[in-house]
Amino acid sequence: MDLNYLTAHDIKDKIKKKEISCREVTESVFSRIEEVDVSINAYIRLEKDSALKSADRIDKKISKGEDTCDFTGIPVGIKDNICTRDITTTCASKILNNYIPIYDAGVIKRLKSQDYILTGKLNMDEFAMGSSNENSFFGPVSNPWDTERVPGGSSGGPAASVAAGEAICSLGSDTGGSIRQPASLCGVVGFKPTYGLVSRYGLVAFASSLDQIGPFARDMEDCAALLNVICGHDSHDSTSLDAEVPDFKSFLKDEIKGMRIGVPSQLMLEGIDPEVRGAVNSALKMAEDMGAKVEEISIPNLEYALNVYYIIAPSEASSNLSRFDGVRYGFRDSDADTLRNMYKKTRARGFGDEVKRRIMIGTYCLSAGYYDAYYEKALKVRTLIIQDFNDAFSKYDVLISPTSPTTAFKKGEKTDDPLSMYMSDICTIPVNLAGLPAVSIPAGLSNDGLPIGLQVMGNVLREDNVIRAAYALEKAIGFKGIPKI
Amino acid sequence: MRISSDDAKHVAKLAELDFSEDEIKKITLQLDKILEHVARISAVDTEGVKNTSHVMDIKNVFRDDTPADTLSQEDALKNAPLEQDDGFRVPRID
Amino acid sequence: MTGIIKTENNYESTIGLETHLELETATKMFCGCRLSFGEKKNINTCPVCLGHPGSLPVINKKAVEFAIKIALALNCSINERTIFHRKNYFYPDMPKNYQISQYDIPLGVGGYLEINMGDYVRNVGITRVHMEEDAGKLVHTGSTGRISGSGGSIVDYNRAGTPLIEIVTEPDIKTPEEAKEYMTVLRNLLLYLDVSNCSMEEGSLRCDANVSIKPEGSDGLGTKTEIKNLNSFKFLRKGLEYEIKRQKKVLDSGEQVIQETRHFDNNSGTTKALRSKEEAHDYRYFPEPDLVPIIIGKDMVDAIRETIVELPEEKSRRYMEEYGLSSYDAGFLAGDSKIAGYFERCLDCFDDAKAVANWIMGDFSALANKEKIHISDSKVSPESLCRMLKMIAGGRISIKIAKTVFEEMFNDGSDPEEVIKNKGLEQISDSGELEAIIDEVISSNPGPVGQYREGKKKAIGFLIGQVMAKTKGKANPRIVNAIMSKKLR
């Protein structure tokens, strides 16, 4: 197998045994990028020179017998809404296309402390708003399984790069499903941790109470290892949990006997593709065969999750994106003669349509006369959804559903109808509203040869259950697909 | 219609966004559809329900009053679209 | 009812004041940058106070403690749970185009501040005390330095993020004089709490006013206008006086007062409507998702209450009781924390409080005012002043001589002993020495002596004067008087 398709744990193993070097792995990744990225467009910016330099330095370090961590010398891609000091961070937007952060995000500091190798900055939907990665200033990302189709979004680049062997792992962000849904469409593992486990310092904010950074990997083992690196308290983030972070790898137990699995009926009905439902049901049967108890459960308020999300997220976003005004950084419409004109024209020209749409929705929902009926009301319904989940988790250890109602759809299929695009997130959104941990793992391929994803959700800070269930199912499903691109 | 073109123009003004007449027409329709959909939450009985602004029960997170993390002037101005006299230049305020 | 401005048509005025106070913490409200004092631009900034993408605020604990202290001193109830809100509006001095502030659950509510207007005393209601962050500074290019007529502006974010406390009164203040007194008392109180340097010139204490008038005795309130740029107590009073007169003129001519923001112009002493007629801001307040709630337990409140030293009112009362000072004197000394401190240090080494008080309020203040310095910044230490006062009490110098001595001490920081030694100012109290001089005066002034013996008692004044002249003022007047009276019998 090509080195660029190895998992991080395999690479670490082989390097230890001196079978391969970091340099070789890194070169393999970059030659793959050179081969396919012209069709996939997963990368906005590559850091080849510094990556190879780092690889050499790390190889020397290893040869001297210095200690290494799980991600020492591993080529990892970073979604372009995570600030990397001195390396442009664009959020796939024209308004930040020349922005060079003067600080590193909390997660980057943690990866650097392990001496990881940065492959480059990954493409995404502009400001993390989208479900198809068609909203990027740098052009859409293609699904490696079928380049006519979308990889999902907003972390299309992170998902596609790992699927196509253009990175060993990557980091994305998830606000309403932006890690899990693209993971599902691209046939890789994508994990959204409990809200507050991973620092948001340096993550360009979309919806502050929903955003979380999380890993993309080819298997649960790598995923757990990457969680170990990025989780942990950050004093720069007031919403960061001060809880002790477990060793997530310790939850990789290949057994789920007696585990109680709930299947929310609201997420298995309308609009779910029959093949998707079929794959999930197969997996659930495997779970039963392994001794887990599987039951359908009704979570009534889930019906409103999409509505609540599409009020809260745009509202917070409309405020978070106010800072993009051409004054201190980023793109500025320099022809404008007055301040107000500069603001309006900079933002009109600098933001894409979806971003503007969400800013408009959010501004409306927060505005005088509408705040109570929209924003305030949404916050209350959110409480009900959280209560519903609490009730569900008092009876079940995990909840399982499809990650996405469909497999990868064709580019352009939903771009004219924002609402239909929003529906892609119907299974993933509820999780963010409650701050729950959830993962998407590949559950098989459709008849068209497109990946189907299965989502495992756990209660707050119950990554143990999520990882355990996902790992056991991953082993049982035995998905080994690699796109033929 | 939940939202009119005038409403949309007002919202655009609050958000410092500039739209042409055509764009306003288009976005008004899109917003109307979306708002119609999300407004379904009005059907939910939330009598006596508290709102959730923060999902996790964290409180009293502070920092000590000691200096840290300050940038050099160079770094502060590094990304300035237009710099003048060590500051960020903006056009005439109207 | 006292204190109401009466105009021809008998209107009464209502004033509400909004005060912003920059706290003197070491660092900003939500980040670790130092507070600035007018150095080069943009040298105390970081990703947070520059509003960089991905940056997040973290609350400065000391700022919260200071805020609680202020709220307690203003007799507010402290909300056990308080949160921050975002106040959204676009302006270049706002790095995020929203200000992190407080909205419907502020830190302190329902307090009051007592003001003493001389012939009456009353409480001004304090609606709320809350925390927020300051904006940066704009320098407008162009000759006037003001926005109108300038070609552009330059933004400096050194000040952005400085902790700010907002104190809002009820629309409770009735006259410009009351407003001025409120600000004076408030400022002294805040100085006492040692939370800010409270300087209106430097901008660490700012005040905006809301003013309305209504026909005397009517219910409700008239339309209010907001007055900005009142940056001294004098301008506050002038601005309010002008605005009340202006509103009266408007109503008298049958028109309506327009609700607007007006700018006070120092030079003309008038208020002018701000050029751009903006719609009322829709700030779209919502709870700040990047910050978690603050829960303030009783323990924390009690601990902070302990740190509040004796406040002016209390101190003044104590001065009157313990030292027998008059209400005016006690008020003067207690009203300024530094004067009170100086006064109390003097009492550590000299126990005639009235003498100390007189000296501080008299010559000392006069000299200090002339030099435009505070007595505590003068060259005269409390210990040094006490040494001088001991000399007066011990009869070594007269009060008149002491004035000269003090002037030396004030100008050069000299020790009083040195001064009287160098200038030979020690009072002559030796009876022997004085007798000789008195005899001389009596023998060379038979006229006045005779007049005295004939019953014109006032003539002794002239004779004593002669002794003082001969001794260059150094003779102890009491002893001279006693000896002279005896000899003239």
Q: Are residues C114 and C42 in the same domain?
A: yes
Cβ atoms within 10 A of the Cβ of B26, count? 15
A39 touches chain C (CB under 8 A): no
- Note the helical H segments in C130-175: none
B39 to chain A, closest Cα gap in Å: 7
Of C489, C477, C5, which is closest to residue C240 (Cα–Cα)? Answer: C5
A337 to chain B, closest Cα gap in Å: 6
Q: Are residues C212 and C136 in the same domain?
A: yes
Say if residues B35 and A378 touch (Cβ distance below 8 Å): no
Q: Are residues C345 and C365 in the same domain?
A: yes
B41 to chain C, closest Cα gap in Å: 19
B87 touches chain C (CB under 8 A): yes
Residue identified by tokens 């700030």 is C283
A459 to chain C, closest Cα gap in Å: 21
CA distances (Å), origin C433, targets A180, A399, C127, C297, C468: 107, 110, 71, 74, 13
B16 and A336: CB-CB below 8 Å? no
What's the rounded Cα separation, in Å, for the pair A15 and C268?
Answer: 81
C6 has a pLDDT exceeding 60: no
Say if residues A251 and A467 touch (Cβ distance below 8 Å): yes
Q: Are residues C316 and C281 in the same domain?
A: no
Q: Quote the pLDDT of residue A419.
A: 86
Say if residues C365 and C377 touch (Cβ distance below 8 Å): no
Over the stretch B38-94, which tens digit does the pLDDT of each residue have? 999 999 999 999 999 999 999 999 999 999 999 999 999 999 999 999 999 999 987
- Whether residue C3 is contained in a domain is answered as no
Q: Are residues C89 and C146 in the same domain?
A: yes
Annotated catalytic residue A79: yes
C218 has a pLDDT exceeding 90: no
Q: Quote the pLDDT of residue C335.
A: 83
Domain containing residue C464: 431-488
Count of residues making up chain C: 489
B17 touches chain C (CB under 8 A): no
Q: Are residues C53 and C111 in the same domain?
A: yes
Residue A342 is nearest to which of B8, B34, B91, comparing CB atoms? B91
Residue B92 is nearest to which of A337, A373, A382, comparing CB atoms? A337
CATH number at residue C441: 1.10.10.410
What's the rounded Cα separation, in Å, for the pair C367 and C357?
Answer: 15
CATH for B5-42 (3.10.100, 3.30.2410, 3.40.50, 1.10.20)? 1.10.20
Q: Quote the pLDDT of residue A330.
A: 97
Annotated catalytic residue A16: no
C399 has a pLDDT exceeding 90: no
The three-class DSSP label of residue A128 is: helix
Q: Percent of chain C, pLDDT > 90?
A: 64
Say if residues C247 and C240 touch (Cβ distance below 8 Å): no
**Phi, psi (degrees; rounded to nearest 5) at A169:** -140, 170
Q: What's the one-letter identity of residue A55?
A: A
Backbone dihedral region of C177: left (phi > 0), alpha (psi from -120 to 50 degrees) or beta?
alpha
Higher pLDDT, C487 or A94: A94
Residue identified by tokens 């926005």 is C147
Catalytic residue among A178, A240, A404, A424: A178
A326 and B81: CB-CB below 8 Å? yes
Q: Quote the pLDDT of residue C459.
A: 85
Restricting to C residues 279-298, those with a Cβ less than 8 Å away from any Cβ of B are 282, 284, 287, 289, 291-295
Higher pLDDT, A381 or C36: A381
Q: How many separate domains does chain C show? A: 3
Q: Quote the pLDDT of residue C144.
A: 66
Instruction: Report, as an integer, the average pLDDT of C133-158.
Output: 85
Residue C282 is nearest to which of A325, A328, A367, comparing CB atoms? A367
- Whether residue C112 is contained in a domain is answered as yes
- Note the helical H segments in C350-458: 353-359, 365-370, 382-393, 399-412, 416-423, 431-444, 446-453
Residue A209 is nearest to which of B18, B54, B94, comparing CB atoms? B54
Q: Quote the pLDDT of residue A469.
A: 98
Say if residues C223 and C171 touch (Cβ distance below 8 Å): no
ipTM over 0.85? The verdict is: yes
Cβ neighbours of residue A394 closer than 8 Å, sequence gap 6 or more: none
- Whether residue C466 is contained in a domain is answered as yes
Q: What's the one-letter identity of residue C415?
A: D
> Please, what is the average pLDDT of chain C?
91
**Chain A neighbors of C49, CB-CB under 8 A:** none
CATH number of A3-261+395-477: 3.90.1300.10
- Report CA torsion sign: C158, C163, C168, C174: negative
Annotated catalytic residue A61: no
A71 to chain B, closest Cα gap in Å: 27
Restricting to C residues 156-175, those with a Cβ less than 8 Å away from any Cβ of B are 156-157
Render each residue's pLDDT in chain A as its tens digit; 485 residues: 689 999 999 999 999 999 999 999 999 999 999 999 999 999 999 999 999 999 999 999 999 999 899 999 999 999 999 999 999 999 999 999 999 999 999 999 999 999 999 999 999 999 999 999 999 999 999 999 999 999 999 999 999 999 999 999 999 999 999 999 999 999 999 999 999 999 999 999 999 999 999 999 999 999 999 999 999 999 999 999 998 899 999 999 999 999 999 999 999 887 899 999 999 999 999 999 999 999 999 999 999 999 999 999 999 999 999 999 999 999 999 899 999 999 999 999 999 999 999 999 999 999 999 999 999 999 999 999 999 999 999 999 999 999 999 999 999 999 988 888 998 899 999 999 999 999 999 999 999 999 999 999 999 999 999 999 999 999 999 998 899 88
- Whether residue C5 is contained in a domain is answered as no
Q: Closest residue of B to A373, CA-based? A: B42
Among A477-481, C123-127, C149-153, C212-216, the least confident range? C149-153
How many contacts (CB atoms, under 8 Å) link B and C? 120
Q: Quote the pLDDT of residue C8.
A: 57
Instruction: Report, as an integer, the average pLDDT of C107-113.
Output: 97
Tokens of C482: 């006693």
Q: Are residues C42 and C153 in the same domain?
A: yes
Say if residues A324 and A330 touch (Cβ distance below 8 Å): yes
Q: Closest residue of A to C154, CA-based? A: A327
Q: Quote the pLDDT of residue C484.
A: 87
Of C407, C423, C439, the one marking the end of a domain is C423
C293 and B67: CB-CB below 8 Å? no
Q: Which chains touch B (3 or more CB pairs under 8 A)?
A: A, C
Model pTM score: 0.89
Q: Quote the pLDDT of residue A364.
A: 97
Q: Quote the pLDDT of residue A269.
A: 80
Catalytic residue among A131, A136, A142, A154: A154
* pLDDT bracket for residue C5 (50, 70, 90): low
* pLDDT bracket for residue C145 (50, 70, 90): low
Restricting to C residues 79-118, those with a Cβ less than 8 Å away from any Cβ of A are 86, 88, 90, 92, 95-98
